[in-house]
Amino acid sequence: MSAITLPNRTPGKPGPAALISAMFATVRARLLIVSRYKGQLLNEIVTPIVLAAMPILLGRATAGDRASEVFLANTGTANYVGFMLIGSAVFVIVSNAFWHVANWLRWEMETGTLESIYLTPTHRVFVAAGTGIYSTSRSTVGAFVAYLIGSAIMGINPFQGDLLIAFLFILFGLIPLFGMTLLYGALVLKLKEANAMLNLMQWVVNFLMGVFFPITVMPAAAQFIAKLFPPTWMTNGVRSAMLGVGYFFNEWYFDLAVLWFFMLAAPMLGVWAFKKVENSVRRNEGVGQF
């Protein structure tokens, strides 16, 4: 018999470098898989343009030449085309980031590879983070290209306002989304169902983050709920930085601080809930059943 080589000196207790390496291996695997499905990126570029075009054209149809004037009075910017395009582009980023763990879990359950992942010593949160980085990078590139194309088609300048601050709002907004997506993923792991909830939540998210309108036009109670939702701060931050619609707390750094708070709290809550559900599922039917 030859000597047995163990994979780790401390089995099952990897260092941060090994976990980060596993996370980026997941990003690479996802990229390789999607590269074998042609046309997906094209869909993601077209979606925000179509999404924004409908209310823009509706606005023109109902308000005619006075569309900009009416919009300025209600939102603080006359650039309603930019407002909608930014809203749609951020919505595509948020939407993909928000569902990715749920979609990833369902996909892995159905293809049968989820149990393979659970057989390895890498915690699923790191694999989920890998799929999150992949999914968010992909949708961010798609949304940015869509914003550029949409701006060209609608005849507006895509580069206006403070782009660096807008970028900070997107960056800070994505991390709480990872926490939220883990919460939603935990639900899918338990209920083994994603589509019905996704269909419902898609519209709730769309409404709460104010994709097509500023949340200031909502009733007070709805505004309160919307402000508990990190993407609302993200969308408003990007619009304020680029179009000057106005921050909720008047200064960009106060709004960013709120996102910073969400950035700390949401992932902790998400990881806690995900682990809790994961153990509950392992106590009964297991993760592979769907």
251, 232 Cβ separation under 8 angstroms: no
Minimum distance between the CB of residue 7 and another protein, rounded to whole angstroms?
Answer: 5
DSSP H/E element including 24: helix 16-35
Minimum distance between the CB of residue 108 and another protein, rounded to whole angstroms?
Answer: 9
Smaller CB distance to another protein: residue 7 or 39? 7
Minimum distance between the CB of residue 261 and another protein, rounded to whole angstroms?
Answer: 32
d(CA 283, CA 129): 24
Smaller CB distance to another protein: residue 8 or 74? 8
Residues that bind another protein (CB under 8 A): 1-2, 4-8, 11-14, 18-19, 21-22, 25-26, 28-29, 32-33, 36-37, 111-113, 115-123, 127, 279, 282-288
Concatenated DSSP letters for 95-119? Answer: HHHHHHHHHHHHHHHHHT-HHHHHT
Helix 80-111 / helix 163-191 crossing angle, nearest 10 deg: 30
Smaller CB distance to another protein: residue 23 or 97? 23
Smaller CB distance to another protein: residue 127 or 215? 127
Minimum distance between the CB of residue 100 and another protein, rounded to whole angstroms?
Answer: 17
Q: Could you give the residue ranges of the DSSP H alpha helices within 112-212?
A: 114-118, 124-154, 163-191, 195-208
